[in-house]
């Protein structure tokens, strides 16, 4: 618990006083004031987070964390549980959607096993921080112990810390971090977490995940209700919620958020599962919200409610529901563009362009 608390204690409130100077610089670029809209707001947010007037986002990293869920045995997913393992190997081989899109924007993918239900082959590009071999079936008992929940959070912190400034030089430090996930049945856990924390009803927070039909969707809602009724998670205790209806990869991602915020690194939140992890991080430390950038509006039904609760506005609405970090990595390209506008665009004076007429 010490590592978790120490990390939380290092998270500082972002200082909005940076905005005035950044806005002045943006207004002096060769464009009408405010004409780049959200890009300008993103540039100001990155400056606030990093406390750097000329930030650079050279080192982009997506953390894709994997874990299995005992509740998959209830038939809540369209895919069998072994797909979690198979997709992890696909990530490592570079053949998944996240690999293609990360290469496109110049990001690195870090793959981590937080709770896959089997022993994965050790590889140089795989981080093994397994808490257990999948969670228990949350519809019958708590998904994990409180100690395991804390361990998943602290393992996520360790994963970020081990990759941040890994060769001890500032040039190697992570400039922006994104979240990704893999775990069959993890939309079931994410819906349960979201229902408990936001107070929304199960129907509005439960979607089709991997593409289940109507009968499985009905079953999924019943399983979520059973899990919440049986475990009675306490909404104001994020660790209790994670332990009773969460997942190891969700805890790992929440820990990664905390670690990134403690190092003043912007965090790009992917879809529904990543947003459930963001809920856990936010409940542990509300200041984390100001370090978060929502990548996209997922097709998953409850995602909008979670984002509204967090006060985040998604950058993209592409009907995505893949996970893995695919939405986050696409949004990283937009955030990078916003920063480059701030740092690379000419001013009126340097370009010899006349400013707008100002009435006397």
List, by residue number, the catalytic residues: 324
Q: Whole-angstrom Cα distance, residue 130 to residue 150?
A: 13
Positions of E strands within the chain: 60-67, 107-115, 126-128, 176-182, 267-269, 292-294
- Check: CB of residue 78 under 8 Å from CB of residue 124: no
- Residue 184 tokens read as 């069959």
In angstroms, the CA 35 to CA 248 distance is 43
Task: Indicate the DSSP class of residue 289.
Answer: G
Taking Cα atoms as reference points, which of 218, 212, 213, 221 lies closest to residue 188?
221
**159 vs 46, 110, 254, 258, 346, CA distance in Å?**
23, 9, 11, 11, 39
In terms of Cα–Cα distance, which of 284, 81, 259, 82 is closest to 155? 259
In angstroms, the CA 358 to CA 351 distance is: 19
Torsion (CA) 161, 294, 136, 237 in degrees, nearest 10: 80
CB 193 within 8 A of CB 250: yes
- Yes or no: say if 268 and 178 are a contact pair by the CB < 8 Å rule: yes
């Amino acid at each position: 618990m010490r590592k978790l608390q120490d990390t939380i204690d290092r998270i500082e409130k972002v200082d909005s006083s940076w905005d005035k100077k950044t806005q002045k610089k943006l207004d002096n670029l060769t464009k009408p004031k405010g004409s780049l809209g959200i890009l300008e707001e993103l540039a100001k947010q990155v400056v606030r987070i990093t406390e750097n007037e000329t930030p650079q986002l050279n080192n982009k990293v997506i953390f894709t964390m994997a874990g299995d869920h005992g509740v998959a045995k209830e038939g809540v997913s369209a895919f069998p549980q072994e797909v979690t393992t198979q997709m992890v190997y696909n990530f490592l081989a570079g053949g998944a959607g996240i690999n293609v899109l990360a290469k496109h924007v110049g990001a690195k993918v870090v793959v981590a096993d937080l709770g896959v239900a089997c022993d994965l082959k050790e590889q140089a590009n795989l981080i093994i921080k397994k808490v257990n071999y999948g969670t228990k079936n949350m519809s019958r008992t708590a998904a994990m112990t409180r100690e395991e929940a804390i361990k998943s959070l602290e393992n996520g912190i360790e994963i970020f810390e081990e990759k941040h400034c890994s060769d001890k030089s500032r040039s190697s430090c992570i400039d922006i971090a994104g979240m990704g996930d893999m775990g069959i049945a993890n939309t079931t856990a994410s819906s349960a977490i979201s229902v408990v924390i936001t107070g929304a009803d199960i129907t509005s927070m439960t979607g089709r995940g991997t593409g289940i039909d109507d009968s499985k969707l009905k079953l999924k809602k019943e399983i979520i209700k059973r899990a919440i009724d049986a475990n009675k998670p306490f909404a104001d205790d994020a660790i209790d919620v994670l332990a009773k209806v969460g997942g190891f990869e969700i805890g790992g991602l929440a820990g990664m958020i905390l670690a990134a915020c403690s190092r003043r690194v912007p965090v790009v939140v992917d879809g529904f599962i990543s947003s459930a992890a963001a809920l856990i991080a936010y409940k542990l430390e509300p200041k984390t919200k100001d370090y978060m950038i929502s990548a996209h509006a997922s097709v998953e039904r409850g995602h909008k409610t979670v984002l509204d609760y967090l006060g985040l506005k998604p950058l993209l609405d592409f009907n995505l529901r893949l996970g893995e970090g695919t939405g986050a990595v696409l949004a990283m390209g937009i955030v990078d563009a916003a920063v480059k506008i701030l740092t690379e665009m000419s001013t009126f004076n340097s370009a010899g362009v006349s400013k707008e007429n100002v009435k006397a």
